[in-house]
């Protein structure tokens, strides 16, 4: 009897270069030193400790990223992504998820346990704002560093796509300047801390009556401009810009949540659920959050105009629960903590009320669409795999249909990873953009 031997190929695990390994070691060492500062061990050398440990970690990150520049032929490399435990929901991914979730829980509800870490960033905070650091200063610093370092990785990975490079530079710029430097510089000049790139309903205080009244009562012209800017942008600016460019102008170019998702979260984009069921859940959830914040804002305004015990307690009840459930638990703890398991846009997809509003405009009153050249599609599925919003792009491409979906953030990755040039992100006449 002849025996036939069948060889089953094993997945090849990509080898890391020496420079990458050194980078990883430096990153780990920097983070270890930074975290050990929580014990107060570096009390006497705070400046050296803080800048040194964070600098070492950032430099390690850069060294880890740089070798990817020389990885052969042009094109976006996702080699091995399905075989790595960190990017394919393996043990490392779960550990990272638990770590991130735990960090957010401490940050929001038990900052006293992070006191050592928070005070270790005092030295930067005093330099920028003249005040001691809070947990939000610590968070903002780590958040911004993560976007900057992982943004460099994104730029190198997608270096053959001008669209990806431009939008990555854009989110890095808006995070560094508008979400980190400007608010802290305003504080240093005794002005209200203000984020010019966040609007209602993502930043609820922009239209909450008490916050508006407080801002209006501040001396000087700048607080008055802040009131004007927030209201105008929330009500008029956002719809107009979305009409012309789709929601991508915000979700993929400006927003800090999107910025973190597109940089730190890029290695996890393939983990988004593409099923019809998740699409259904997504629509229910994101629009429920939008209704929740609209009702809350309405109640607060009704209470500020008419007063009364019933309106007072109802508005208080709604705003407290919104702050706890959506503002903290969903956007922070789940939104970032679940990156390695559910993809990086969990918050944008299922919970962000700003994304819900932008999505409604994008679907019904926008010039944006993704066109598909169906005859060129080879059904490889790259586009669907790497769509972080769980859109089954391939299904549209196979039918040659335009993609006009409320959830599409216009990241353009589906188009960048398509080997056949099937997909194009375009702005054009509203009429006829939905294929029939
Ligand atoms: S459909 Fe394409 S552009 Fe839209 S979110 Fe998905 S990957 Fe990004
Ligand atoms: S990546 Fe391109 S070729 Fe592959 S399924 Fe999507 S549209 Fe078709």
Please list every protein residue whose CB sits less than 6 Å from any atom of ligand 1. 387, 389, 391, 393, 403, 408-414
For residue 379, give the ligand 2 atom closest to its CA: 5
Phi first, then psi, for residue 426 (nearest 5°) are -140, 155
Minimal-distance CA residue to ligand 2 atom 8 = 377
Side-chain-side CA neighbours of residue 162 (13 Å): 1
- pTM for this entry: 0.90
Alpha carbons 425 and 436: distance in angstroms, whole number: 19
Q: Is 202 in the pocket of ligand 2 (CB under 6 A)?
A: no
In whole angstroms, give the CA distance from residue 297 to residue 314: 11
Question: Can you tell me the distance from the alpha carbon of 281 to that of 54, in angstroms, rounded to the nearest whole number?
Answer: 39
pLDDT of 385 reads 96
pLDDT beneath 50, residues of the chain: none
Question: pLDDT by residue (tens digit) across 22-39?
Answer: 999 999 999 998 888 877
**CB-facing half-sphere around the CA of 40: CA atoms within 13 A:** 2
The DSSP 8-state label assigned to residue 192 in this structure reads P
Q: Decide: 58 in ligand 2 pocket, CB within 6 A.
A: no
- The per-residue pLDDT for range 176-224, each reduced to its tens digit, is 999 999 999 999 999 999 999 999 999 999 999 999 999 999 999 999 9
Q: What pLDDT is attached to residue 230?
A: 96
Cα(181)–Cα(195) distance, integer angstroms: 10
Q: Answer for the pair 75, 160: CB distance below 8 angstroms, yes or no.
A: yes
Fold of 365-427: Alpha-Beta Plaits (3.30.70)
Q: How far is ligand 2, taken at its centre, from the CA of residue 332, in Å?
A: 33
Helix, strand or coil, per DSSP, at residue 431: coil
């Amino acid at each position: 009897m002849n025996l036939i031997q069948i060889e089953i190929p094993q997945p090849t695990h990509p080898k890391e270069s020496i420079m990458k390994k050194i980078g990883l070691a430096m990153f780990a060492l920097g983070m270890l030193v930074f975290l050990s500062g929580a014990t107060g061990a570096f009390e006497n050398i705070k400046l050296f400790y803080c800048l040194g440990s964070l600098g070492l970690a950032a430099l390690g990150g850069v060294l880890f990223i740089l070798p990817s520049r020389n990885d052969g032929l042009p094109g976006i490399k996702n080699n091995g992504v399905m075989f790595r435990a960190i990017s394919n929901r393996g043990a490392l991914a779960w550990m990272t998820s638990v770590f991130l979730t735990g960090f957010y829980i401490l940050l929001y509800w038990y900052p006293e346990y992070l006191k050592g870490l928070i005070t270790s960033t005092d030295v930067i905070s005093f330099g920028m704002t003249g005040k001691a650091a809070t947990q939000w200063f610590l968070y903002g610093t780590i958040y911004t560093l993560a976007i900057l370092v992982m943004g460099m990785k994104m730029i190198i990975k997608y270096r053959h796509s001008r669209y990806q490079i431009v939008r990555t530079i854009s989110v890095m710029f808006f995070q560094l300047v508008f979400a980190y430097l400007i608010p802290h510089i305003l504080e240093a000049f005794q002005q209200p801390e203000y984020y010019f790139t966040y609007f209602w309903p993502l930043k609820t205080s922009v239209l909450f009556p008490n916050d508006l009244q407080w801002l209006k009562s501040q001396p000087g012209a700048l607080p008055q401009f802040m009131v004007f800017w927030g209201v105008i942008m929330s009500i008029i600016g956002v719809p107009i810009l979305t009409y012309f460019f789709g929601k991508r102008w915000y979700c993929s170019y400006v927003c800090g949540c999107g910025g973190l998702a597109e940089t730190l979260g890029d290695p996890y984009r393939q983990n988004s659920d593409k099923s019809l069921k998740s699409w259904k859940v997504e629509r229910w959830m994101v629009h429920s959050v939008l209704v929740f914040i609209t009702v809350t804002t309405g109640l607060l305004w009704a209470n500020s105009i008419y007063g009364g015990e019933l309106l007072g307690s109802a508005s208080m009840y709604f705003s407290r629960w919104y702050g706890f459930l959506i503002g903290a638990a969903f956007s922070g703890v789940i939104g970032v903590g679940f990156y390695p398991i559910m993809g990086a846009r969990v918050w944008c997809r299922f919970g962000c009320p700003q994304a819900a509003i932008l999505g409604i405009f994008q679907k019904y009153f926008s010039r944006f669409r993704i066109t598909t050249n169906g005859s060129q599609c080879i059904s490889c599925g790259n586009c669907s795999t790497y769509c972080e919003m769980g859109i089954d792009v391939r299904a549209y491409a196979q039918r040659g249909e335009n993609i006009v979906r409320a959830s599409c953030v216009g990241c353009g990755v589906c188009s960048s990873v398509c080997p056949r040039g099937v997909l194009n992100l375009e702005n054009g006449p509203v009429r006829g953009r939905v294929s029939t």
